[in-house]
């Protein structure tokens, strides 16, 4: 799955501009299922299993990643931008970005610069930057030169390489949620016991927009959301503040900021994990949220569970996960999909 994850993560697809990700996924799944693209751009796939269940199951992940949108071109040729999705300005300042030009169709490099540290006051050095004080410099001499290449509304992305860290960990941008997309692509290529809907959603990062529409369209009885979630098992963090940890298996939450998860499904996940010897953990803080927030209150209500890969430095150009957790998440989801349908 590492090769697939790398390929997906290196594609640029900020919320609202998921086209390249969608095209890549369709290319991979078009021969193994029925699919359609809805009005917002989400891919709704249906794959026949050996049997047709009484209740409808939907598995989903989101295609979009956090990034930037160009809002203004300044007289000096630098670009003002807005963050698309929640991004800490500390991981924007001092980075290379790519700007996708709607004028030339090409992608150009830029940087988010800053006042040289020599010229900052003592107070300024200790104050975290704010996004609205940052600009993208593409090397244009002035506004006229920049306007030849960049139009308002063009998107920009983090530049990040897919790097292996140690024996089993990897680093890249967009692991949130190409990890979930990779798991679904794997499952779509397998023989399934039951008919299943798989949805690749758009616009999760700006408020669960894609899943709101696609969940209504599919109208499932059960949903499994595949995600990447904040792990804080970093230097200096202890106890509950670690939230969840790399290498300890898929994360199944009882509650986050958007959802109170179905209790029976929550217990089912842990009992399957115990039976199958799959490591599994919960989150030790009520934090974050995902498409489950829109799905579980869709229509007359959907019994929903989320299975997440623990991920350090989420929403930064350097997301880090343990590939063992991704493999274990997929193992758990396969079993879960079968057992949920038999409830």
**Residue 11 beta carbon to other proteins: minimum distance, rounded to whole angstroms:** 19
Neighbours of 62 (CB within 10 A): 32
Q: How far apart are CA 211 and CA 67, in angstroms?
A: 19
The answer to whether the CB of 231 falls within 8 A of the CB of 245 is yes
Binding residues among 262-301 for other proteins as defined by CB under 8 A? 285, 287
Q: Which is nearer to other proteins, 94 or 301 (CB)?
A: 94
Residues noted as catalytic: 204
Question: Taking CB under 8 A as the rule, which mask of x and - marks residues 55-74 in contact with other proteins?
Answer: -------------------x
The answer to whether the CB of 254 falls within 8 A of the CB of 335 is no
Q: Which is nearer to other proteins, 326 or 333 (CB)?
A: 326
Question: Taking CB under 8 A as the rule, which mask of x and - marks residues 175-214 in contact with other proteins?
Answer: ----------------------------------------
Q: Which is nearer to other proteins, 52 or 90 (CB)?
A: 90
Question: Taking CB under 8 A as the rule, which mask of x and - marks residues 134-173 in contact with other proteins?
Answer: -x-xxxxx---xx--x---------xxx-xxxxxxx-x--
Map residue 212 onto helix, strand or coil: helix
**Residue 53 beta carbon to other proteins: minimum distance, rounded to whole angstroms:** 38
Binding residues among 89-128 for other proteins as defined by CB under 8 A? 90-91, 93-96, 108-120, 125-128
243-279 in b/e form (b: 16+ CB < 10 A) is bbbbbbbbbbbeebebbebbeebbebbeebbeeeebe
Q: How far apart are CA 226 and CA 218, in angstroms?
A: 17
Between CA 207 and CA 216, with CA 212 as vertex, the angle to 5 degrees is 175
Q: Which is nearer to other proteins, 78 or 214 (CB)?
A: 78
10 is a site residue for other proteins (CB under 8 A): no
Start-to-end C-alpha separation, the chain: 30
The phi and psi torsions of 187 (rounded to 5 degrees) equal -65, -35
| Contact residues: other proteins, CB under 8 A | 74, 76, 78, 88, 90-91, 93-96, 108-120, 125-129, 133, 135, 137-141, 145-146, 149, 159-161, 163-169, 171, 230, 232, 234-237, 241, 243, 285, 287, 312-314, 316-318, 320, 322
């Amino acid at each position: 799955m590492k090769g697939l994850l790398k390929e997906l993560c290196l594609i640029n697809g900020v919320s609202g501009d998921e086209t390249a990700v969608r095209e890549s996924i369709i290319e991979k799944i078009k021969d193994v299922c029925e699919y359609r693209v809805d009005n917002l751009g989400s891919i709704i796939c249906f794959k026949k299993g050996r049997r047709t269940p009484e209740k409808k199951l939907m598995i989903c992940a989101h295609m979009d990643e956090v990034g930037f949108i160009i809002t203004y071109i300044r007289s000096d040729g630098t670009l003002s931008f807005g963050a698309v999705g929640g991004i800490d300005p500390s991981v924007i300042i001092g980075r290379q970005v790519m700007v996708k030009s709607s004028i030339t169709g090409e992608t150009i490099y830029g940087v988010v610069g800053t006042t040289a540290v020599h010229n900052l006051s003592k107070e300024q050095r200790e104050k975290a930057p704010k996004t609205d004080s940052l600009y993208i410099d593409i090397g244009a001499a002035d506004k006229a030169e920049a306007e030849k290449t960049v139009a308002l509304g063009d998107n920009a992305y983090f530049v990040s390489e897919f790097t292996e860290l140690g024996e089993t960990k990897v680093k890249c941008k967009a692991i949130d949620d190409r990890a979930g997309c990779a798991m679904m692509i794997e499952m779509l290529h397998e023989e399934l016991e039951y008919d299943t809907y798989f949805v690749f959603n758009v616009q999760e990062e700006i408020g669960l927009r894609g899943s709101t529409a696609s969940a209504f369209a599919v109208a499932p009885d059960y949903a499994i959301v595949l995600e990447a979630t904040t792990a804080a098992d970093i230097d200096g963090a202890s106890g509950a503040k670690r939230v969840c940890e790399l290498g300890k298996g898929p994360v199944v939450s009882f509650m986050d900021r958007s959802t109170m998860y179905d209790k029976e499904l929550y217990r089912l996940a842990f009992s399957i994990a115990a039976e199958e010897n799959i490591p599994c953990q919960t989150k030790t803080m009520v934090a974050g949220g995902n498409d489950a927030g829109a799905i579980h209150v869709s229509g007359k209500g959907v019994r929903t569970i989320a299975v997440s890969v623990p991920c350090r430095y989420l929403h930064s150009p350097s997301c880090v996960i343990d590939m063992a957790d991704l493999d274990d998440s997929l193992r758990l989801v396969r079993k879960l999909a079968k057992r949920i349908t038999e409830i």
